[in-house]
Amino acid sequence: MADLSSSPFELSPEHEALRRTVRDFAEKEVAPHVAAWDREHHFPVDLVRKVGELGLFGLTAPEEYGGAGGDFTSLCVAIEELGRVDQSIGITLEAGVGLGINPILTFGTPEQREQWLPELVAGRALAGFGLTEPGAGSDAGATRTRAELVDDEWVVNGAKQFITNSGSELTSLVTVTARTGTREDGSAEISAIVVPAGTPGFVAEPAYDKLGWHISDTHPLTFTDVRVPADHLLGERGRGYAQFLATLDDGRVAIAALAVGCIQACLDLSVEYAGQRTTFGGPIGRKQGVAFQLADLEVMLQASRALTYRAAAMKDAGRDTGRHRAEFKRAASVAKLYATESAVSATRIATQVFGGYGFMEEYPVARFYRDAKILEIGEGTSEVQRMLIARGLGLPVE
Active site residue 383: no
Core vs surface per residue 233-245: b (16+ CB within 10 A) or e: bbbebebbbebbe
Which residue in 156, 272, 157, 258 sits closest to 216, CA to CA?
Answer: 258
Spatial contact of 92 and 216, defined as CB atoms under 8 Å apart: yes
CA angle 57, 194, 70 (to 5 degrees): 25
Q: Is 195 left (phi over 0), alpha (psi -120 to 50) or beta?
A: beta
CA distance linking residue 184 with residue 369, whole number of Å:
48
Q: Which residues contact 370 (CB under 8 A, 6 or more apart)?
A: 211, 212
**278: which strand partners?**
283
**297: which strand partners?**
none
User: Which amino acid, residue 143?
Assistant: T
Which residue in 123, 137, 111, 154 sits closest to 45, CA to CA?
Answer: 123
Query: Per-residue DSSP letters for 288-319?
Result: HHHHHHHHHHHHHHHHHHHHHHHHHHHHHTTT
Catalytic residue among 29, 64, 379, 383: 379
Core vs surface per residue 311-342: b (16+ CB within 10 A) or e: bbbbbbbebbeeebeebbbbbbbbbbbbbbbb
CA distance linking residue 232 with residue 224, whole number of Å:
17
Instruction: For residue 60, give the H/E element and its range.
Output: none
- List C-alpha distances in Å: 313 to 11, 305, 318, 391: 9, 12, 9, 23
DSSP state of 133: B
User: Which amino acid, residue 388?
Assistant: L
Spatial contact of 230 and 183, defined as CB atoms under 8 Å apart: no
First and final C-alpha spacing in the chain: 34
Q: Which residues contact 43 (CB under 8 A, 6 or more apart)?
A: 168, 215, 216, 217
- Report the catalytic residues: 379
